[in-house]
């Protein structure tokens, strides 16, 4: 899990590094394409083309649209905001998932849920501080990130529904990889920028490292207890703070630090509550 968090942080840093010269949608294309290539051996072991067979096409459409919006939000944030801020806001996903699970999955409203949701929303507001006059130029990209986080939570709801209906994990993952590759390929055509050799290498690195990070995280959750592993996933905060400071001179201020602590606490409480109550929690699938 620590290696997975470090890998995600490096991939995020590469996205930030290439974003001044390559459109976000084009970066998403390479991310999705190499993730798809990395999954081909898994698909082969799962029966080849049979791994794409599904009885839930509508669920896959909803999951793809929401997941694509979530990926765009995070990548856009990496391009315009400090790495640690985007990573911290991403950890609000369990909070928004907890909110959406009430009307969409019929999960009960309990005191523990309300406390974690409240803490998470306080953390989001503390990081964004929409009432401040200075730094207002960051609010636009930050709202895109938050909208992406909400979309990612909606994608997780779709994953839960399909999982409860018996859909295989490999089918869910494959359809998302295929669909996002196709969508981002078409969307990249009007804004295509031919990368330089160095940028080509970075784009390949984004795809390969992200795929490796996803595999490491999946292996961790597959072989260990979720309640034990969840805290280690928040190592990404430490990694992105260090990376942002060393490369871009980004240092979180007191408000950002306080908001990050609220978000981490809310996320950990949410994952602990769902694990101890045996609620159907999907493995977090980061953009």
The C-alpha R_g of the chain, in whole angstroms, comes to 18
Q: What is the pLDDT of residue 227?
A: 57
Domain ranges of the chain: 2-276
Spatial distance between the Cα atoms of 64 and 97, rounded to a whole number of angstroms: 16
- Average pLDDT, integer, range 133-155: 81
Q: Is the pLDDT confidence value at 257 over 70?
A: yes
Residue 179 or residue 37, greater confidence: 179
Q: What is the pLDDT of residues 161-172, one digit of tens each?
A: 888 888 887 888
- Residue 14 pLDDT class (50, 70, 90 cuts): very high
Give pLDDT tens digits for 271-284: 776 666 654 444 44
The residue count for the chain: 287
In this prediction the pTM is 0.86
DSSP H helical ranges for 51-191: 57-80, 83-90, 93-105, 111-128, 139-164, 169-188
Flag whether pLDDT at 62 surpasses 90.
yes
Reported as a single tens digit per residue, the pLDDT across 200-254 is 999 999 988 887 887 787 677 666 665 567 677 788 888 999 999 999 999 888 8
pLDDT attached to residue 226 = 58
Evaluate whether 15 touches 75 at the Cβ level (below 8 Å). yes
């Amino acid at each position: 899990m620590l290696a997975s968090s470090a890998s995600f942080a490096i991939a995020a840093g590469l996205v930030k590094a290439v974003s001044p010269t390559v459109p976000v949608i084009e970066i998403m294309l390479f991310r999705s394409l190499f993730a798809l290539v990395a999954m081909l051996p898994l698909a082969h072991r799962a029966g080849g083309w049979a791994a794409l067979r599904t009885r839930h096409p509508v669920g896959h459409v909803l999951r793809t649209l929401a997941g694509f919006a979530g990926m765009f939000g995070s990548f856009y944030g990496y391009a315009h905001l400090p790495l640690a801020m985007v990573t911290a806001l991403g950890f609000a996903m369990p909070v928004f998932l907890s909110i959406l699970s009430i009307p969409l999955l019929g999960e009960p409203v309990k005191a523990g849920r309300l406390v974690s949701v409240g803490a998470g929303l306080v953390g989001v507001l503390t990081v964004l501080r929409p009432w401040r006059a200075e730094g207002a130029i960051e609010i636009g990209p930050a709202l895109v990130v938050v909208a992406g986080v909400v979309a990612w939570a909606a994608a997780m709801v779709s994953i839960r529904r399909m999982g409860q209906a018996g859909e295989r994990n490999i089918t869910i993952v494959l359809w998302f990889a295929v669909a996002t590759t196709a969508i981002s390929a078409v969307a990249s055509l009007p804004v295509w920028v031919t990368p330089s050799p160095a940028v080509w290498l970075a784009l390949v690195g984004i795809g390969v490292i992200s795929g490796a990070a996803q595999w490491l995280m999946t292996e961790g959750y597959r072989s260990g207890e979720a309640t034990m592993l969840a805290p280690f996933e928040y190592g990404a905060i430490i990694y992105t703070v260090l990376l942002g400071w060393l490369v871009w001179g980004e240092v979180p201020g007191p408000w950002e630090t306080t908001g990050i602590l609220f978000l981490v606490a809310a996320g950990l409480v949410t994952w602990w509550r769902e694990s101890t109550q045996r609620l159907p929690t999907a493995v977090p699938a980061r953009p």
